[in-house]
């Protein structure tokens, strides 16, 4: 690993819970339904995060645990069975039903795996019922996707076919572009997990080479490995360098000639660097502090430091998987400070002491920091924006240059003085 300093901190994490990931997962797999087993708070969170769908039947909902359930006066398992059957009678098009656990369902110990098992026996052939936890107890919002994918893995058929498997949700257009690059390189069989339909799961086996698109899929990666797949070591496809190394790692693993890879990637790299230049001008030399939330913090810091010239004060990350992150940490400047976990008061003190130009953080901390005159960027935006791949590097940089430009407009005197 590089000379980065790795530290740990403990305390409650100021992060969104895993239910948030339903927002992008339900768009990805339109034949699936996500039924949160939770409280009214959970229902509010998921509705406001996903927005209200006016023209379409929603593909997520909440089975609300009432006071009687929480007090143990009703059999929550029976209640849930009833809710699921009503839902499926009304929505026969649902092919996969995810029962998503929450803090309340975990606290009163509803055994969602048992409910799912019984429903699978009763509803065999009609729908597949799975369960995972989206609870906010000690988990972060991106771990919701990790849990959902892990729940799907036992259903993946076996295969001995040589293939590249892209793992982690990407915007469809970005995914199409990346697959077309791999096809041009000569990798014909490229599949994605999660697939675009929950019933079209890719097969897996010893000839499957997994290329992770997202850094927060620790459990998924482990389970895929247990199924015999090989995880390709690579940084993540954020920025020109990260995306180039990511594609090159897959090409190496398939024995593709370097000159062929260069001939396809070089024009993309030149175009992307040109598009990146105006953002580099704005970002270069600016101080960046990343508070822990999405688990994307290390790849983002690597991109913003190495390609955009930002000075990294601190990289906070809720969890640090040293294996998956090794290639990223190796690319960081040697004096970087990475802090795993969170003690929010101490972290905020360090933010104030270092006077950063930009703080990447959760929505809960953004408003107070903005009120103190510190520009912020919500880390949750990174999972809703198409930021992966060489072509997307300038869009990714723009997410960070925009708040600085807005800050300049709102503080014209300060800008003139500091310039
Ligand atoms: S799962 Fe927990 S953290 Fe998430 S909305 Fe429900 S109660 Fe809140």
The reply to whether ligand 1 has any atom less than 6 angstroms from the CB of 38 is yes
pLDDT band of 419, cuts 50, 70, 90: very low
| Mutation pick for ligand 1 pocket among 45, 137, 293, 364 (CB with most ligand atoms within 8 Å) | 45
The reply to whether ligand 1 has any atom less than 6 angstroms from the CB of 390 is no
Note the Cα 17 to chain centre separation in Å: 12
**Rounded Cα distance, 223 and 77, in Å:** 28
Residue pair 379/361 in contact by the 8 Å Cβ criterion: yes
pLDDT at 72: 63
For the chain, what is the mean pLDDT? 92
- Which range has the top average pLDDT, 120-129, 243-252, 333-342? 243-252
For residue 225, the CA-to-ligand 1 centroid distance in Å is 31
| Mutation pick for ligand 1 pocket among 18, 19, 37 (CB with most ligand atoms within 8 Å) | 19
Read off the pLDDT of each residue in 133-160 and give the average, rounded to a whole number: 94
The token duo for 120 is 């699978």
The reply to whether ligand 1 has any atom less than 6 angstroms from the CB of 17 is yes
pLDDT at 418: 43
Residue 157 has pLDDT above 90, yes or no: yes
Ligand 1 atom showing the smallest separation from residue 46 Cα:
5
| Mutation pick for ligand 1 pocket among 49, 99, 135 (CB with most ligand atoms within 8 Å) | 135
pLDDT tens for each residue of 221-258: 999 999 999 999 999 999 999 999 999 999 999 999 99
pLDDT at 76: 78
Cα dihedral across residues 220, 59, 155, 89: positive or negative: positive
pLDDT at 416: 46
The reply to whether ligand 1 has any atom less than 6 angstroms from the CB of 292 is no
- In this predicted model, which residue has the larger pLDDT, 363 or 281? 281
pLDDT at 64: 81
Ligand 1 atom showing the smallest separation from residue 104 Cα:
7
For residue 135, the CA-to-ligand 1 centroid distance in Å is 6
| Mutation pick for ligand 1 pocket among 136, 140, 141, 142 (CB with most ligand atoms within 8 Å) | 136
**Among protein residues, the one whose CA lies closest to atom 7 of ligand 1:** 103
**Rounded Cα distance, 36 and 17, in Å:** 12
pLDDT band of 351, cuts 50, 70, 90: very high
For residue 25, the CA-to-ligand 1 centroid distance in Å is 17
Residue 388: strand pairing partners? 238
pLDDT at 417: 45
Read off the pLDDT of each residue in 102-128 and give the average, rounded to a whole number: 91
Least confident of 60-69, 233-242, 285-294, 363-372: 60-69
pLDDT at 349: 95
| Mutation pick for ligand 1 pocket among 23, 35, 39 (CB with most ligand atoms within 8 Å) | 39
**Rounded Cα distance, 21 and 135, in Å:** 11
**Among protein residues, the one whose CA lies closest to atom 6 of ligand 1:** 42
For residue 383, the CA-to-ligand 1 centroid distance in Å is 19
pLDDT at 62: 84
- In this predicted model, which residue has the larger pLDDT, 49 or 394? 394
pLDDT at 97: 97
pLDDT at 166: 98
The reply to whether ligand 1 has any atom less than 6 angstroms from the CB of 103 is yes
The reply to whether ligand 1 has any atom less than 6 angstroms from the CB of 126 is no
pLDDT tens for each residue of 43-70: 988 888 776 554 556 788 888 877 666 6
pLDDT tens for each residue of 196-212: 999 999 999 999 999 99
The token duo for 218 is 């620790």
Ligand 1 atom showing the smallest separation from residue 135 Cα:
1
For residue 49, the CA-to-ligand 1 centroid distance in Å is 12
Residue 134 has pLDDT above 60, yes or no: yes
**Rounded Cα distance, 214 and 419, in Å:** 37
């Amino acid at each position: 690993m590089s000379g980065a300093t790795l530290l740990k901190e403990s305390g409650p994490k100021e992060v969104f819970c895993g239910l948030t990931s339903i927002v992008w997962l339900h768009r990805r797999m339109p034949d699936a339904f996500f039924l949160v087993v939770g409280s009214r708070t959970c229902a509010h969170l998921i509705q406001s995060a996903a927005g209200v769908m006016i023209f379409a039947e929603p593909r997520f909902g909440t089975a609300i645990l009432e006071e009687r359930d929480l007090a143990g006066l009703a059999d929550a398992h029976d209640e849930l069975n009833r809710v699921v059957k009503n839902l499926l009678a009304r929505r026969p098009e649902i092919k996969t039903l995810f029962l998503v656990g929450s803090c309340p369902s975990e606290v009163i110990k509803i055994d969602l795996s048992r409910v799912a098992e019984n429903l699978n026996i009763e509803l065999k052939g009609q729908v597949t019922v799975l369960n995972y936890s989206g609870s906010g107890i000690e988990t972060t919002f991106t771990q919701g996707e990790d849990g959902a994918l892990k729940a799907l893995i036992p259903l993946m058929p076996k295969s001995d076919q040589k293939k590249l498997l892209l793992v982690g949700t990407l915007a469809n257009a970005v995914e199409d572009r990346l697959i077309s690059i791999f096809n041009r390189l000569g990798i014909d069989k490229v599949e994605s997990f999660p697939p675009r339909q929950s019933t079209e799961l890719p097969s897996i086996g010893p000839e499957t080479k997994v290329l992770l698109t997202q850094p927060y899929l620790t459990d998924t990666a482990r389970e895929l490995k247990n199924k015999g797949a090989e995880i390709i070591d690579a940084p993540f496809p954020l920025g020109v360098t990260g995306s180039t190394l990511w594609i090159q790692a897959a090409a190496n693993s398939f024995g593709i000639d370097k000159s062929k890879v260069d001939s396809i990637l070089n024009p993309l790299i030149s175009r992307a660097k040109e598009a990146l230049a105006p953002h580099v001008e704005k970002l270069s030399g600016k101080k960046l502090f990343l508070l822990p939330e999405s688990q994307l913090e290390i790849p983002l810091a690597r991109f913003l430091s190495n390609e955009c010239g930002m000075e990294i004060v601190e990289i906070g990350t809720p969890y640090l998987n040293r294996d998956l992150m090794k290639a990223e940490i190796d690319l960081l400047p040697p004096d970087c400070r990475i802090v795993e976990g969170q003690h929010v008061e101490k972290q905020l003190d360090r933010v104030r002491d270092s006077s950063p130009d930009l703080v990447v953080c959760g929505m809960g901390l953004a408003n107070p920091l903005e009120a103190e005159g510190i520009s912020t960027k919500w880390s949750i935006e990174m999972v809703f924006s198409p930021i992966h791949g060489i072509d997307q590097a300038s869009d990714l940089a723009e997410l960070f240059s925009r708040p600085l430009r807005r800050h300049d407009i709102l503080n014209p005197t300060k800008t003139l003085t500091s310039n």
